[in-house]
Structure 1
Amino acid sequence: MAYRVLIIGCGAIAGGYDAQRSPDEWPLSHAGAIARDDSFELVACVDPDDATRDAFARRWDVPQAAASLDALGAKPGEFDLIVIASPTGHHAAHLDWAATMKPRAVFCEKPLGSNLAQAEKLAGQYEAAGVPLAVNHLRRWAPEIVTEASRIAAGRYGALIAASAIYTKGIVHNGGHMVDLLRFLVGEVGLHSVGPARSDHWDDDPTVSAILTAQNGAPVHLIAGDARYVTQFELVLSFQKEQIAFRDGGRRIERRLVEDSSVFAGYRELGLATSSAHGLDAAMTSAYDNIRKTLDQNAPLASTAKTALAAQRLCEAIRRKALDTANEGTPT
């Protein structure tokens, strides 16, 4: 018998990204992944926008669609998995409600809450209740990125020398993805200093440049792009033996070997790049496979409230320093 799923929020990540895609393509959304997995059945959805909700229900053949949680009239135990794909400002209320429904697991878009205190409260609430809470830092499920994390941990590329990352659309919102990816690949990173910030999408969540430090002291430069001109999410990790770059949001993984220079005797340089264009292909599918194993066998989740909170703490610290600095320069 399939696990019964409720999705709260019927936008792009809920199903819109896959609305016009072929079933033969790797899914990019929750509904797309659920539709391809016989272990799950999408039985209900909630969204306040009539047109969005109705289109979602038709596309994914959802039998019950409601404008609000009250209108849904759900009872505790009715859903095995509750997916929260609503805007960030609604996550806290929806997570609170989901906990009262006593599901077997919850899968929430990041961040958990609009601020760190809210996120920590929610994470503690779910831990106390013993309800597995997955957070959609998707790259932790992407098979090729998982393989790179294992290779890095095993020392295949040698020690980290330096890293640079460029991102857009807010230090907490998209910066959270970047910081989580860094932590997943190279371990803990600390905050050294905060640089320029720009408001390229969110009024209260600027995109901030910062210098971080890896555990071995290697510098990690976080660079603020500008989503008003181009959306960017790229990470370059330079190791003693090889450089690994995660391009196009992680969809393409590029590598360059460190080799003896054929021009300058005694120098070492980076060779020509080779790349794979399938970095994120199976990420959402793997996420639901992981959740199924959690429901079936109590297997550990790859992306949890704990890992999400660690990233949000650092991002909130960067945001706070950036806003404080901006306020100090504002005339009174």
Structure 2
Amino acid sequence: MQNILILGCGNIAGLNESKKSSSTFSHAKAISKNSFFNLKYCYDINKKKLLKFKSKWRVKNGYSNFNDVLKKKLDIDIVIITSPTHTHYELLKKSFKLNPKIIICEKPMCLNLKHGLEIAKKIPKRTKLFINYQRRLSNSYIELKKIISKEKYGKLRSISSTYNKGLFNNGSHLLDIFNYLLVRPSFEIAARPINDYKSNDLSYPFFLKKNAISISVNVANARDYYFFNLQFVFQKKIIEITENEKKINYFTPIKTRTYKNFTNVKMEKTKKNNDQFDMGLVYKHLKIFIKNNKHSFLTDIKEEIKNLTILEKITNN
């Protein structure tokens, strides 16, 4: 059993998730469903949150002062950082002093490339650092990677996508998906952002490229509605991940009788996409890594540096 310390007792940690619902959106709930892991310690500077979280998930030990965590010499195998993004940089440096086997930090790892490169240099030899972009663990994206690499539907021609609620908050998920599927696409250009989420996290339209594959990213305004969709255009198929990733639509080319030598597309099938927010997948793949020392599909520090590099180019464009 792997003993876990959670740093940050807010929503993504599990503060407000129902223990009775069938969904698993938080770390604490995912841990509670996997007997390989033990949520033994928690930390938050907000004592009210700390006590509520500690009681709800029956965590034996809670701390509001990180010095106490360091002094106690706790039996920690894994550190999970679920605090706000602006705190990640300092908490990562503090976590290194605990010398855990694994650290999982919520995305993005930090707010600029300089801090990211500094963190990369300071990771203890014993410690493996992963960044939590759980969307890439969804079966739909794993299958897409196979389709692209094997050219199941011919060559991938282009990708178009739309997001909102901030480049760092939500757009970073897209960057990680593109890096996972295509391996380091290059930044081309960004357009004027909109403030639809927070003044310090604007939503930028931008354009990437990987060889002959064009990748366009548009923005919707989160004040109107939440939106996160993707479309992959292949030679012989179009795949849409739509309705905020709840459905996957497949379109296939057909010859039309109306016009000679004209090919149209029609809907072939639709299937549900149910696991894109399943935090349980993180711990499934983490267990695989621990037992087999196999990287699996988790985002490592090298991949996150790629993400941070493009994030910085977008905001500095």
In the alignment, is the contact (CA less than 8 A) between 1:144 and 1:279 conserved in 2? no
Q: Distance in 2 between matches of 1:66 and 1:100?
A: 16
Residues 10-68 of structure 1: per-residue CA shift (max 9 Å, x gap):
1111114633542xx24111111101000001011111223322222222111112223
Counterpart of 1:15, as a letter, is: G
Q: Distance in 2 between matches of 1:273 and 1:59?
A: 46
Q: Distance in 1 between matches of 2:165 and 2:193?
A: 11
- Select the residue among 97, 101, 104 that pairs with 1:104: 101
Question: Residue 253 of structure 1: CA displacement?
Answer: 2.3
In the alignment, is the contact (CA less than 8 A) between 2:135 and 2:276 conserved in 1? no
The runs of 4+ residues in structure 1 deviating greater than 4 Å are 73-77
Q: CA 1:295–1:77 in structure 2 vs 1: closer, same or farther (change >3 Å)?
A: farther
Q: Which residue of 2 aligns with 1:145?
A: 141
Q: Distance in 1 between matches of 2:243 and 2:73?
A: 41
Give 1:196-275 correspondences, 5 Å limit.
Answer: 196-215=192-211, 217-261=212-256, 263-272=258-267, 274-275=269-270
Question: Residue 83 of structure 1: CA displacement?
Answer: 0.2
In the alignment, is the contact (CA less than 8 A) between 1:111 and 1:119 conserved in 2? no
Matched, 1:29 2:22: no
In the alignment, is the contact (CA less than 8 A) between 1:211 and 1:219 conserved in 2? yes
Q: Distance in 1 between matches of 2:208 and 2:58?
A: 46
Q: Distance in 1 between matches of 2:288 and 2:162?
A: 34
In the alignment, is the contact (CA less than 8 A) between 2:5 and 2:78 conserved in 1? yes
Matched, 1:79 2:67: no
SS state at 2:221 partner? coil
- Select the residue among 299, 308, 312 that pairs with 2:304: 308
SS state at 1:158 partner? coil
Q: Distance in 1 between matches of 2:184 and 2:69?
A: 42
SS state at 1:38 partner? coil
Give 5+ residue unaligned stretches, structure 1.
322-332
In the alignment, is the contact (CA less than 8 A) between 1:26 and 1:281 conserved in 2? no
Give 1:1-332 correspondences, 5 Å limit.
Answer: 2-16=1-15, 18-22=17-21, 25-73=22-70, 75-76=72-73, 78-126=75-123, 129-215=125-211, 217-261=212-256, 263-272=258-267, 274-280=269-275, 283-302=278-297, 303-321=299-317
Question: Residue 299 of structure 1: CA displacement?
Answer: 1.5
In the alignment, is the contact (CA less than 8 A) between 2:8 and 2:42 conserved in 1? yes
Q: Distance in 2 between matches of 1:179 and 1:282?
A: 17
Q: Distance in 1 between matches of 2:53 and 2:165?
A: 26
Question: Residue 78 of structure 1: CA displacement?
Answer: 1.8
Question: Residue 270 of structure 1: CA displacement?
Answer: 1.9
Give 5+ residue unaligned stretches, structure 2.
none
In the alignment, is the contact (CA less than 8 A) between 2:245 and 2:276 conserved in 1? no
| Percent identity over paired residues | 23
SS state at 1:45 partner? strand
Q: CA 1:279–1:147 in structure 2 vs 1: closer, same or farther (change >3 Å)?
A: farther
Question: Residue 75 of structure 1: CA displacement?
Answer: 4.2
Counterpart of 1:297, as a letter, is: N
Question: Residue 258 of structure 1: CA displacement?
Answer: 2.2
Coordinate RMSD, CA, aligned: 2.0
SS state at 2:201 partner? coil
TM-score, normalization by structure 1: 0.88
Residues 308-329 of structure 1: per-residue CA shift (max 9 Å, x gap):
22112112101111xxxxxxxx
TM-score, normalization by structure 2: 0.92
SS state at 1:178 partner? helix
SS state at 1:97 partner? helix
Q: CA 1:258–1:74 in structure 2 vs 1: closer, same or farther (change >3 Å)?
A: farther
Question: Residue 132 of structure 1: CA displacement?
Answer: 1.0
Q: Distance in 2 between matches of 1:151 and 1:39?
A: 32
